[in-house]
Every structure is written in C-alpha cells, then in structure tokens.
Amino acid sequence: MLGVETKFYRRYKMEKGAAKLFKMGELIQITKRPRRHIMTAIDALMLQPVKRDRDGARWFTEAQVRQLAERLTGTKGVKGGQESMGG
C-alpha cells in the first residue's frame, strides 16, 4: 500500500499546478458507487483520455472526478462524497 501512496504523491507533484489526480479505488470511495457504474459513467461522458501508469492504473483529474460524481449522483458540486447520496 505504501508504494501506491508514494507513487500517488510523486505523480501529484510532477503535475505541478494541474488538478489533483485520483486512482480508481479513490473514485469508488468518493462516489460510493461500484466500479462498473463509474466505468459506465466515464464511457457516457467520453472524458478526455485517461492517463495511465506504466502498470496500467488509471488516473483521473479532479475535474473529471467532479463530473463523474455529478453524473452518478445527479447532483451538482459533490465534494469528496460528504453530502448524503440521496436516491
């Protein structure tokens, strides 16, 4: 786990001034939705191409995460999944 964390922060620093990047697992936590919902939403939004690590892990920018959260919850301005996910 530690290796993933350090890679995440190094990647964040490398982006310098760009939006924070998230991994798939973090997206699942943020949006509280299963992976397939997230993948479907990504396909539906046809987001900018998603960055990939050498090991193929996907990275999402903060803007993409916000779009996804809005898409998945049907609400605006979801930040970090703090608001309740009214159904």
Percentage of residues in the chain with pLDDT exceeding 90? 0
Which single residue is written with the structure tokens 């919850």?
Answer: 73
Query: By mean pLDDT, which of 28-32, 40-44, 71-75, 79-83 is the weakest?
Result: 79-83
Dump pLDDT digits (tens) for 1-36: 444 445 545 554 444 444 556 677 777 777 777 777
Determine contact, residues 78/70, Cβ cutoff 8 Å.
Answer: yes
Q: Which domains does the chain have, with CATH numbers?
A: 2-73 (1.10.1660)
Quick one: pLDDT at residue 36?
78
- Please, what is the average pLDDT of the chain? 61
Determine contact, residues 41/71, Cβ cutoff 8 Å.
Answer: yes
Is the pTM value of this prediction over 0.85? no
Residue 28 — left, alpha, or beta (φ > 0 → left; ψ -120 to 50 → alpha)? Answer: alpha
